[in-house]
């Protein structure tokens, strides 16, 4: 069951006109990575909705904040070269972060994200990278089980923005039934 522009706007009303751009590529990405059925789609849309500010941001706003400055030199993110922290900041609808994640995502999607990290800012790659991340982290199984907080932890590393994510999830479940 593909999502429609009208459904997406009921879930993410602040998406505005970009909803029409994102719906076809979201449907392609969700289909490719088996994010199907109301539970999976609702959880996915809620999470990407929060992470992207309702499809407004496909690139992390760079301060740099104190948290962002800590990206630099983080071996767990593969940020081993000077400037990697900023270069491989969060991009895409789920905010892929770090050289190692860009490399893995690029291999999976057939893109050279090390040389062209900005490709994740294009709607089709922003959606596909989010669906790839979702699949590699086993989040569809968690969505099937209703483990929304666990999904949030796997995406965010904690529970930042949980109230907004839960509100979007509740809205999505109503719209998609």
**Mean pLDDT, range 17-39, rounded to an integer:** 98
Of 65-69, 84-88, 118-122, the range with the lowest mean pLDDT is 65-69
Question: Which of these CATH numbers, 2.70.150.10, 3.40.190.10, 1.20.1050.10, 1.10.530.10, describes 5-56+124-176?
Answer: 1.10.530.10
Q: Tell me how far apart the alpha carbons of residues 91 and 130 are, in angstroms, rounded to a whole number.
A: 9
Fold of 66-119: Endochitinase; domain 2 (3.30.20)
**Mean pLDDT, range 109-138, rounded to an integer:** 98
**Mean pLDDT, range 88-97, rounded to an integer:** 96
Two tokens, residue 37: 């059925």
Torsion, Cα of 137, 8, 2, 59 (10° steps): -40
Q: Tell me how far apart the alpha carbons of residues 64 and 45 are, in angstroms, rounded to a whole number.
A: 28
**Mean pLDDT, range 120-131, rounded to an integer:** 98
Two tokens, residue 68: 């962002």
C-beta separation of 124 from 24 below 8 A: no
Domain residue extents for the chain: 5-56+124-176, 66-119
C-beta separation of 36 from 30 below 8 A: yes
- Dihedrals φ, ψ of 139, to 5°? -80, -20
Residues catalogued as catalytic:
51
């Amino acid at each position: 069951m593909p999502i429609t522009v009208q459904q997406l706007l009921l879930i993410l009303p602040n998406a505005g006109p970009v909803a029409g751009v994102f719906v076809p590529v979201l449907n392609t990405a969700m289909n490719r990575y088996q994010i199907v059925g109301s539970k999976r789609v609702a959880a996915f849309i809620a999470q990407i909705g929060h992470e992207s500010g309702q499809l407004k941001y496909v690139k992390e706003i760079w301060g740099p904040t104190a948290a962002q400055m800590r990206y630099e030199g983080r071996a767990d993110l593969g940020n081993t070269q000077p400037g990697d922290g900023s270069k491989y900041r969060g991009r895409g609808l789920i905010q892929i972060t770090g050289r190692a994640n860009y490399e893995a995502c690029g291999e999976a999607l057939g893109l050279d994200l090390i040389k062209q990290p900005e490709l994740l800012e294009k709607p089709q790659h922003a959606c596909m990278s989010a669906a790839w991340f979702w699949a590699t982290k086993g989040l569809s199984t968690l969505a099937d089980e209703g483990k929304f907080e666990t999904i949030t932890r796997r995406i965010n590393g904690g529970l930042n923005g949980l109230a907004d994510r839960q509100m979007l999830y509740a809205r999505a479940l109503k719209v998609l039934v």
